[in-house]
Amino acid sequence: MEKESVTIEIKQEVSITLLWIVAGVILVTATFFLIPQGKELWPAINGAGIAAFIYLIALLAYVLRKPLPTRPRLVVGIIAVVVIGCTAFSWERMQDQSYWQADLLMKIRAVIGRGIMIYEMPPPLLKTLDMYYRQDTKGAKTLAEVFRQLYPGATAGTNIHKSEGEWDKTTVIVETLEPDRIVLVSQEAFVPGRDSTFRNYNGQTGMLQEEFTLTERGITHVSEN
């Protein structure tokens, strides 16, 4: 009878342990997926972390309940507080580090994107200016007409940038195409510029943007954002 009683108690303890494990997994997982997930996962991760913290407190309260002696309860409680505190500190540092890395990567991407714009935008304008002044009769064709020779069908709003692939989100838009004035605007769709309130050509706000203007006198460049 004693063996049967012990066996029953062991089975009960195993069942309770499994129940605690399943409950913890469900609680943390449900919290993670129930929190709205936008561009950042940290709100959902933090929510799951808080749920895990509450679960651990409840588990400790259950494990350290009486008739467990006071001293072991106190020792385990202190160790648990230290471990949870260290974990929370490391968690916070990890979150700060991830934000810092993301910000650094965006700054690097902005430098690269701006460099690509400044490299790609002048050549079509310089070629247009060169062809304009090489005409047998000066002014036989306007700057706009010469530009359309290079880019047939180009009008205000045309993107003349040849994409290198799906990853290439750069655009070079013909903003203005007048007889004596051509303006090209280039922007990145996902890379922030210097001013978060700047209104971009395509209606976005705060994105990287460069502008090059061609007249008979040459090219002027404005780093708009």
How many other CB atoms are there within 10 angstroms of residue 76's CB atom?
14
Count of structural domains, the chain: 2
105 and 57 both lie in a single domain: yes
Is the model's pLDDT at 213 over the cut of 80?
A: yes
For residue 72, whether the previous peptide bond is cis, meaning omega lies within 30 degrees of 0, is no
Pick from 130, 107, 134: nearest CA to 188: 107
Residue 116 lies in a domain: no
126 and 207 both lie in a single domain: yes
Tens-place pLDDT, residues 117-164: 888 888 889 998 888 888 877 668 888 888 888 888 888 888 887 777
Structure-token pair, residue 187: 């922007």
Q: Are 187 and 205 in contact (CB under 8 A)?
A: no
Pick from 211, 222, 162: nearest CA to 187: 211
**Which domain range does residue 21 map to?**
2-111
Residue 65 lies in a domain: yes
Q: Which of 58, 84, 111 lies at the terminal end of a domain, its last residue? A: 111
Pick from 36, 220, 189, 205: nearest CA to 113: 189
Q: Are 196 and 206 in contact (CB under 8 A)?
A: yes
Which pLDDT belongs to residue 41?
Answer: 77
101 and 30 both lie in a single domain: yes
Residue 14 lies in a domain: yes
Which pLDDT belongs to residue 212?
Answer: 92
8 and 82 both lie in a single domain: yes
54 and 92 both lie in a single domain: yes
State how far the Cα of 121 lies from the Cα of 152, in Å rounded to an integer: 17
Tens-place pLDDT, residues 176-206: 888 889 899 988 878 888 888 888 888 888 8
C-alpha distances (whole Å) from 206 to each of 7, 99, 109, 140, 195 are 68, 19, 15, 41, 6
17 and 86 both lie in a single domain: yes
Higher pLDDT, 3 or 120: 120
Share of the chain above pLDDT 90, in %: 4
Instruction: Determine the average pLDDT of the residues in 73-80.
Output: 82
80 and 169 both lie in a single domain: no
Q: Are 207 and 191 in contact (CB under 8 A)?
A: yes
Residue 52 lies in a domain: yes
89 and 158 both lie in a single domain: no
Instruction: Determine the average pLDDT of the residues in 7-34.
Output: 70
Q: Which of 111, 138, 171 lies at the terminal end of a domain, its last residue? A: 111
Residue 143 lies in a domain: yes
Q: Are 53 and 27 in contact (CB under 8 A)?
A: no
State how far the Cα of 125 lies from the Cα of 129, in Å rounded to an integer: 6
47 and 78 both lie in a single domain: yes
Dihedral angle over CA of 52, 58, 61, 63, nearest 10:
-70
Residue 79 lies in a domain: yes
46 and 80 both lie in a single domain: yes
Pick from 201, 179, 176: nearest CA to 189: 201
